């Protein structure tokens, strides 16, 4: 890596969807799994695996998730990641009762803020919130952004089967818009109402179920009129948009047809076509999708300036995926936006304190 420092490259590699879990959360999860009290079949499947399996990958994942120090920094160095945007792993607080959700959100945000203070060049972080209680969530958001300096919200998709298009969550989006910080809509396993056919086939997790659940959630947010209500709201979504970029023509066409036919109360006119919100309010990351054709397609349909790099550490920790994305057929200036400046702008990250980042002369070598 010595010939591939941020100064020789001319940009930082910022990874925008990088997971953390406090040990206290895993203790609670283990108790819920043992007692069978989660009432969430996706949680039981996902965390039953990551906390219960002795296979090498889940063992490494649960160790790395809890580390905000030497191991994580060494892993970043080994793969050329200058900076991680940290967030509480899915499903985070979403499966907890209200008191536990508040407590875990506070603990998580305090730990993340501490890591960011200790390593300001290496870490930024998003706030975990007790989304179950929107008023408490707004209070914690104010503390996390205002007092702790966190840079957005992690929303780990559905909350016990409840989706963020419900009106009770509006104060959270209003607060995010006012503070100018983005909401990162991150996958969860499918909710109980949709999981069974996926679970039976072993497809409920990151292989497909996450995308089905989260793509649907994002589309529900768009068609609910969320971005007409909060036109300056910034929303970030991983996995290259959870398949929606591929669907945009059909979604626009069918949305207009359903509006014209008056078929559903819930499908009402929007100020823009559904696809247009991807060019105004939504940014994508490449978490889990280090695949040139898909990245180039997403850039083409949502705009090259709206797609940024993410690794999804430690779940998908593969050095070659960084190399693949270094080799994208785009200009040096576009690469700098992809790895560095788009995330810096969207999340309002501070400039690196060390000398050497981004002298423009480095781009010539
Ligand atoms: C997995 C993937 C798990 C992602 C995650 O959090 C996660 C996985 C529990 O592979 O089981 O965030 N991901 O974003 O792709
Ligand atoms: Mn992830």
pLDDT digits (tens, 9 = 90+) for 20-56: 999 999 999 999 999 999 999 999 999 999 999 999 9
Indicate which atom in ligand 1 lies nearest the CA of residue 238.
14
CA of 101 to the centre of ligand 2 (A): 19
Whether the per-residue pLDDT at 273 is higher than 60: the answer is yes
Note the ligand closest to the C-alpha atom of 86: 2
**Do 66 and 21 touch, CB atoms closer than 8 A?**
yes
Q: Which of 260, 315, 245 is nearest to 87 (CA)?
A: 315
Is 75 annotated as catalytic? Answer: no
CA of 186 to the centre of ligand 2 (A): 6
- For the Cβ of 206 lying below 6 angstroms from any atom of ligand 1, the answer is yes
Query: Does the CA dihedral 166-141-174-224 come out positive or negative?
Result: negative
d(CA 154, CA 165): 16
* pTM more than 0.85: yes
d(CA 130, CA 104): 8
Residue 162 CB neighbour total at 10 angstroms:
14
Domains annotated for the chain, with CATH where assigned, are: 14-346 (3.20.20.140)
> Among 114, 312, 340, 345, which one carries the catalytic annotation?
312
CA of 94 to the centre of ligand 1 (A): 15
CA of 361 to the centre of ligand 2 (A): 35
| pLDDT, tens only, 177-217 | 999 999 999 999 999 999 999 999 999 999 999 999 999 99
Residue 91, preceding peptide bond in cis (omega within 30° of 0): yes
**Do 128 and 162 touch, CB atoms closer than 8 A?**
no
Residue 293, preceding peptide bond in cis (omega within 30° of 0): no
**Do 160 and 130 touch, CB atoms closer than 8 A?**
no
Indicate which atom in ligand 1 lies nearest the CA of residue 207.
10
- Token pair belonging to 281: 């309010």
- For the Cβ of 90 lying below 6 angstroms from any atom of ligand 1, the answer is yes
């Amino acid at each position: 890596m010595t010939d591939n420092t941020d100064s020789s490259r001319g940009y930082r590699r910022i990874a925008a969807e990088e997971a953390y879990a406090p040990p206290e959360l895993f203790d609670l999860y283990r108790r819920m799994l043992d007692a069978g009290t989660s009432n969430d079949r996706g949680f039981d499947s996902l965390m039953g695996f990551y906390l219960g399996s002795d296979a090498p990958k889940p063992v490494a994942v649960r160790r790395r998730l809890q580390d905000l120090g030497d191991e994580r920094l060494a892993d970043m160095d080994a793969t050329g990641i200058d900076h991680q945007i940290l967030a509480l792993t899915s499903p985070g607080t979403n499966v907890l009762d209200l008191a536990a959700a508040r407590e875990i959100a506070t603990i998580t945000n305090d730990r993340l803020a501490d890591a960011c203070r200790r390593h300001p060049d290496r870490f930024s972080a998003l706030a975990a919130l007790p989304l179950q209680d929107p008023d408490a969530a707004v209070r914690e958001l104010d503390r996390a952004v205002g007092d702790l300096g966190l840079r957005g919200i992690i929303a780990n998709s559905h909350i016990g089967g409840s989706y963020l298009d419900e009106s009770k969550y509006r104060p959270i989006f209003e607060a995010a818009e006012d503070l100018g910080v983005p909401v990162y809509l991150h996958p969860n396993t499918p909710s109980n109402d949709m999981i069974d056919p996926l679970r039976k086939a072993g497809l409920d997790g990151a292989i497909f179920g996450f995308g089905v659940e989260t793509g649907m959630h994002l589309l529900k947010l768009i068609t609910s009129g969320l971005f007409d209500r909060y036109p300056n709201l910034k929303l970030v979504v991983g996995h290259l948009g959870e398949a929606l970029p591929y669907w945009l023509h059909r979604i626009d066409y069918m949305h207009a047809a359903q509006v014209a036919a008056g078929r559903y109360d819930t499908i009402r006119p929007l100020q823009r076509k559904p696809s247009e919100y991807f060019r105004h309010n939504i940014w994508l990351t490449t978490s889990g999708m280090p695949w040139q054709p898909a990245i180039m397609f997403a850039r083409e349909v949502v705009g090259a300036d709206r797609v940024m790099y993410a690794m999804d550490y430690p779940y998908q920790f593969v050095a070659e995926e960084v190399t693949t994305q270094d080799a994208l057929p785009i200009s040096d200036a576009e690469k700098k936006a992809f790895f560095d400046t788009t995330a810096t702008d969207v999340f309002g990250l501070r400039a690196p304190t060390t000398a050497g980042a981004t002298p423009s002369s480095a781009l010539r070598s």
